[in-house]
Amino acid sequence: MKYLHEGLEHLEASRRADDLDVSKQELAWFDLAIAVILRQYQRISSDIERIQAENQELEEQIEILEGLLRECKEQEIIIASSCQ
């Protein structure tokens, strides 16, 4: 975002300077801004996919642990009733 911000600041300065090449500069800075945004979007998309995969794995582990907990409680009940 730093580069995008700097590019937009440069665009604003170019407009104020009334350069003849402002439109070419604007296109170049907008191209840069778009490239930066696309890179960030791709990084964020990759992060989201990774997090979703991690969440799925954690949900599966939780299901396994819940099953083990149920089994432990059942065994606890069996042991408690046999001790009486």
Supply the pTM of this predicted model. 0.56
pLDDT band of residue 28 (cuts 50, 70, 90) is confident
Distance (Å, rounded) from C-alpha 61 to C-alpha 63? 5
Helix ranges restricted to H, the chain: 2-17, 22-83
| Of 16-20, 63-67, 74-78, minimum mean pLDDT range | 16-20
Higher pLDDT, 3 or 61: 61
Contact 33, 12 (CB under 8 A): no
**Residue 78 CB partners (closer than 8 Å, separation 6+):** none
Residue matched to tokens 């009486």? 84
pLDDT band of residue 78 (cuts 50, 70, 90) is confident
Distance (Å, rounded) from C-alpha 77 to C-alpha 69? 12
